[in-house]
Amino acid sequence: MKIVVIGTRGIPDIQGGVETHCEELFPRLVRNGIDVTLVRRSCYVMPNNKITEFKGVKLKDLYAPHQKSLEATIHTFLAIIWAKFNGTDIVHIHAIGPGILIPMARILGLKVIFTHHGPDYDRKKWGKFAKAVLRKGERLAAMHANEVIVISEVIKKSLAEKYCRVNTHLIFNGVPAPVISQRSDYIESLGLKQRKYVFALGRFVGEKGFDVLINAFSRLNNRALKLVIAGESDHETNYSRSLIELAQRHNIVLPGFVKGENLHQLFTHARLFVLPSYHEGLPISLLEAMSYSLPVIVSDIPANKQIDLPPEDFFQTGSEDSLLTRLQGQLSMEYEPAKYDMIPYDWDRIALMTKSIYELVGG
């Protein structure tokens, strides 16, 4: 069975939740006997990442303009054409932006599986026209895909209510087993000490709420603690520039996009993980923090509240005062590893569930 994956910027080591999802999922599907080709957007493929295979997943680079309003649509169009003429059994399309071209794939005779990662039209970076296009993409994907995978109960309920698509398959995002680092050289190079920093991770976009976190943290008046926000922006915006300026004024540590051993060290030695988002599907960064048994503080958006966390781990979305209160409460206590049930988020289990959807469509 030959699968072509469309809708992600690419793998490996490319920033983004969908990208992390694909980087974990598709090598496992290859190990389960699936022939997978993932189509990458050329504008995200750096010279050191010009490879043709990653852990058994074949990689195909196709043109995409580095422009947030055009890249997904143009790239998806080209990727569907390429898939049609390369003996594809099923295309697996990720996210509602690329979902707008699912009817085209079906007209060309391709079988389509669609994974809904979240209502991207809720993201602050999009204007009115872009939001309308994304809503259209969600509707067309829900109506025309052969099978639909959703990563949360919230999305499953939404598609049933809005489009009467009730036969969706709930398969959570996953998280790999934590790699507990025995080293601390990287965090020390950033001026950090073990259990003496609060950690956040994500792209520098408005819906992540990092400005709220910086403003709340700066009111702690605790010079023994530092705040680290790992990540960067895909496209420079007024928000990303202002966020970096705000961080610099308050001496926040910004290490950039971090992967591998350096990321393992940041998770291993953190005191607390914070996710202040206004919008998420099912946040992989939160699941990663939980896998490291880190105490967490998260915004009370529906996507976060579907995860089984105690009430004191939530703060009122967008409220600096509420976040400050939670930070003061957590940081006033001695550090203790938290305990979470991570069984629903096991990637090997998720790969087998996804394979069963392929067999349903391809059989």
Quickly count: other Cβ atoms within 10 Å of residue 336's Cβ: 8
- Residue 127 is predicted with a pLDDT of 82
Beta bridge partners of 326: none
* Sequence spans of domains, the chain: 2-174+346-362, 185-343
Residue 196 pLDDT grade (very low, low, confident, very high; cuts 50, 70, 90)? very high
Express each pLDDT in 304-334 by its tens digit: 998 989 999 999 999 999 999 999 999 999 9
CATH code at 2-174+346-362: 3.40.50.2000
Beta bridge partners of 198: 227, 272
Exposure string of 269-278, with b = 16+ CB inside 10 Å and e = fewer, is bbbbbbbbbb
How many helices (H) and strands (E) are present in the chain, helices listed first? Answer: 14, 14
Tokens found for residue 268: 């291993």
- Residue 122 is predicted with a pLDDT of 77
23 conformational bin, left if phi > 0, alpha if psi -120 to 50, beta if neither: alpha
Express each pLDDT in 48-106 by its tens digit: 899 999 999 999 999 999 887 789 999 999 999 999 999 898 999 999 999 999 999 99
Residue 222 pLDDT grade (very low, low, confident, very high; cuts 50, 70, 90)? confident
> Who's near 179: CB < 8 A, 6+ residues apart?
261, 264
The candidate with the shortest Cα–Cα distance to 254, out of 271, 230, 234, 282, is 230
The candidate with the shortest Cα–Cα distance to 14, out of 65, 58, 50, is 50
Tokens found for residue 147: 């099978």
pTM, two decimal places: 0.82
The CATH fold of domain 185-343: Rossmann fold (3.40.50)
Express each pLDDT in 106-164 by its tens digit: 999 999 999 999 888 877 777 888 899 999 999 999 999 999 999 999 999 999 999 99
